[in-house]
Amino acid sequence: MSGPRFAGITRWFLYLLIGSIGLGALLAIVIVLAGNWGWVETRILMTTGVVAAASVFGMACGAAMSRLGSRVVPLIGIGLAGVAAALLIAGMWAEFGGNTYWKVTASVSILAVAFAHTSLLSLARLQSSLRWIQYLAYGLVFLFALTVVGMIVTETANDGVVRFLAVVGILDGAFSLLVPVVHFLNRRSAQPTDVAAIEAEIDRLRTRIAELEAARTAAGADAAPTERATA
């Protein structure tokens, strides 16, 4: 799969997000005007919300694939987002009450968020000397997610675990904010001088050029039938 095809994945998730938000808003208006609000209407709106959230996660992962060409982590994130959405929707409508089912659903949902979060962080381009900040942010994201999953599965929430989770969460938030800050500072600084940074910039530009050429080809293909029809 090429960069333009990865960009297409992001575009489809964008369409899904717009559709789910629009449908949810329309249904909410109809329900309010009809004055009939019950559990069925609540489930419908919750379903559109779940689809919208899954679309956002998919867009984050698709952006990582289209811009970086990296496949493993974003593809896992897309898969987990789809599975989490399916489990949540099925649980709402089928009214599964099993404790194990909702533990699995919550765990998959948390991991989907972690993979989408990591995909977004991977979009930042840091100098090789500062890339450890990015790697540490990845580790903190997954450490936080796995700790929460462990608490859910084992039903453990003692004081020590909660304090550990709080510390990891603070570090996770701090480094997640630090990564884009360093990224933008690098962009505002002078042109890269080390070979790795130059190669990374060249790869990024090649990917962008390929995306633009594909868009131009698609636009030309769409315009040709219209021109023949008018002729």
Whole-model pTM: value is 0.70
- 77, with CB counted inside 10 A (0-12, 13-18, 19+), is buried
Q: Tell me the pLDDT tens digit for each residue of 57-75.
A: 888 888 787 665 567 888 8
Distance CA 85, CA 57 (A): 11
As a residue count, the chain comes to: 231
For residue 136, what are the CA distances in angstroms to 58, 65, 66, 151, 156?
23, 21, 23, 22, 26
What does the pLDDT average to over 133-137? 92
Q: Tell me the pLDDT tens digit for each residue of 6-47.
A: 556 666 777 777 777 787 778 777 777 776 777 777 888 888
Q: What pLDDT is recorded for position 218?
A: 78
Q: What pLDDT is recorded for position 94?
A: 83
CB 149 within 8 A of CB 172: no
Q: 194: closest CA among 140, 125, 139, 144?
A: 125
